[in-house]
Amino acid sequence: MINENLKLSGQLDIVLTGKDGKVKEQRTEKNLVVNTGLAFIASRMSGTAKAVMSHMALGSSSTAEAASQTDLVSILGSREVLDSTTITGTNAEKVQYVSSFEAGDATGAVKEAGIFNAATTGDMLSRTTFAVVNKAADDTMTVTWTITLSAT
C-alpha cells in the first residue's frame, strides 16, 4: 500500500540593513500557505493557471495568520515587484522569492508579510506575522521567502 503525504511549508529569511550597509537585524520566520495560495497551486497544476506570484508586501498588523485571509491586514506602502524567483532543490521542490524594500519603501513597525500574484487584488499565496522589525526610512529590508513541497 502506498501512503504518500504531500507537505507544503514556507520560511522567510529577513535581513534589515542600515544606510551604512551594516546588518541591523537578521531572523528566520515560518509562514502559512493560505486557502487562496492552495487554489493558486491547484490552478497551476490543472492548466487553468492564474498569474504567477510577482509581488511581496509588508504590513504592520500582528493579527494572527488564518487560512481564510486574502490580503495583509495593514499594508505598509505598496506591494513591491519581486526581485527574483528561483526554483531550487534536488528535485526542483523549492521556490524562492526575493524582494528588497529599499530606503523609503514600507517604513515603520513591520509585523507581517505576504506574497501575491498582482500589484493590487489578485491572489495571496502565503502570509506570516512576526515580532516587530522597526524599518527606518533609510533602511533596506530584504526578504527571501522559500516555499518547499515534499512527499513524506
Q: Which residues pair with 58 in a beta bridge?
A: 113
Helices of type H across the chain: 35-46
Q: Specify the length of the chain in residues.
A: 152
Q: Report the mean per-residue pLDDT for the chain.
A: 91
Q: What's the pLDDT score for residue 92?
A: 65
Residue 27's nearest CA partner among 116, 148, 149, 142 is 142
- Contact status, residue 110 vs residue 60, Cβ threshold 8 Å: yes
pTM above 0.85, yes or no: yes
The share of the chain scoring above pLDDT 90, in percent, equals 70
Q: What's the pLDDT score for residue 42?
A: 84
Which stretches does DSSP call E strand in 18-93?
Answer: 23-30, 32-33, 55-59, 80-81, 84-88
Distance CA 129, CA 110 (A): 9
- The model's pLDDT over 118-134, given as tens digits with 9 standing for 90+, comes to 999 989 999 999 999 99
